[in-house]
Chain A
Amino acid sequence: MPTITMNVNGTAVSANVENRTVLSAALREELGLTGTHIGCDTSQCGACVVHVNGKAVKACTMFAVEANGADVDTIEGQAHVDGSLNVIQQAFQDHHGLQCGFCTPGMIMSAAALLKENPKPTEAEVRDYLEGNICRCTGYQGIVNAIMAASGQTPAIAAE
């Protein structure tokens, strides 16, 4: 089996994977990073969003061998080194951006990618950017509020 090396959350790692192993499976099963969730496994739901070389991608729809040599950032790398939540994670907690939590890793990673590209998005831009992230609990308003708050803006509609 091919050996791939990646820089995952700032740490160099290597893993033996089959050519057909997708990145989400490599992260979870070879590296034990189970924060990247697999919802649909068909690139619809966005629970598996990670960053590869700084770009948000669906880890279920990229071969791990294609990430050989890449910088990969996952939800495990989002909190501060002391374990405290980063601004996006804290905003999700404060604004009811999650309920069951299954979609949350992908939501946080998509939100992080959005705010890097567009630090002060409008609510419409937030909703547009989350087109590929599905949540079945919150109805999205709490998530949108959280991302608006994380960008330092007041959410248009206050969460209940």
Chain B
Amino acid sequence: MYNFEFAKPKTVEEAASAMAAEGAQALGGGQTLLPTMKQRLASPEVLVSMTGIESMVGVAVRGDTLTIGGATTHAQVAADAADLYPGLAALAANIGDPAVRNRGTIGGSLANNDPAACYPAGALGSGATITTNTRDIAADDYFQGMFETALDEDEIITSVSFPIPEKANYQKFDQPASRFALVGVFVAKTADGVRVAVTGASNEGVYRWTEAETALSASFSEGALESMSGNLDDMIADLHGSASYRAHLVGVLTRRAVAACG
């Protein structure tokens, strides 16, 4: 990998000024960025580590909202959110493997927006708000396609706020080699209706499956989905699974998630 300048600020303000440098990039746990840099697919001139900013680490609940600091690891979310938002904690507990979960962060995952990552489904399915050093972005506006987000180049995800739903569950069909989702579905039942977010399946990245949301908002049951499956036109097809296989999994996993909500 190419060398780079390294900054490890203690505050969001220091991080924001470090990010203003030409060629600067934020570094969370590095579980995606390091392998990418080793392959020279990324070569930032300055890496700004977020892991030394204490105010960006931790899980807090206020009212019906769970707020997670942008530099909080998956392992910490899995542990600290287990009683507060079990559906989301379970998602975090099944990302990658234990060592990856001890480094990887929610902010890093959401900033990267890998089309097969778990957190985008959790954030979009929950209707979360992504808070940066400059603004709040609704999840519905944040995810803009494969590896594309609403973030500006020098913007930092400082925290993510999740309205805690009545019930939620994430079903992940593992791609066993990468431990990413071949398909993953997050279902959240709230007082305002049901949200269904799908990762791993679409060429457009994470998306809301609105047909299923409508059906489940009318009747929150597996039967409401009957034999529904994902829209074939949007599906990723690769050596791990054909478009029709992924479309089928979208239906199956959504039904499993509803069943698991109880």
Contacts and interface: CB of A to CB of B under 8 A. Distances in A.
Interface of A: 2, 18-20, 22, 41-44, 46, 49, 52, 55-58, 60-63, 65-66, 110, 113-114, 129, 131-133
A12 to B, nearest CB: 20
Contacts of A110: 98-99
Given A43-B31, A61-B34, A61-B103, A20 B98 contact: no
Nearest to A52: B102
A19 to B, nearest CB: 4
Contact of B5 (A19, A22, A56, A132): A19
B4 A46 contact: no
A42 B177 CA distance: 12
Given A20-B1, A56-B99, 18 more contacts: A18-B3, A19-B4, A19-B6, A20-B4, A22-B34, A41-B38, A42-B38, A43-B31, A46-B99, A55-B75, A58-B99, A61-B30, A62-B103, A63-B30, A66-B49, A110-B98, A113-B98, A133-B97
B92 to A, nearest CB: 15
Contact of B102 (A2, A44, A56, A60): A56
Contacts of A132: 96-100, 179
B167 interface: no
Contact of B98 (A18, A44, A62, A131): A131
Contacts of A61: 30-31, 34-35, 100, 103
B2 A20 contact: yes
Interface size on B, as a range, is: 20 to 34
A62 B30 contact: yes
B34 A57 contact: no
Contacts of B177: 44
Contacts of B27: 63
A58 B104 CA distance: 11
A-B pairs with lowest CB-CB distance, top 8: A132-B97, A19-B6, A55-B102, A131-B97, A20-B3, A56-B99, A58-B99, A61-B34
- Label chain A's interface by main secondary structure: mixed
B47 interface: yes
B72 interface: no
A82 B135 CA distance: 57
B51 interface: yes
Contacts of B179: 131-132
B248 interface: no
Interface string B86-128: 0000000000111110110000000000000000000000000
B208 interface: no
A19 B44 CA distance: 12
B98 A129 contact: yes
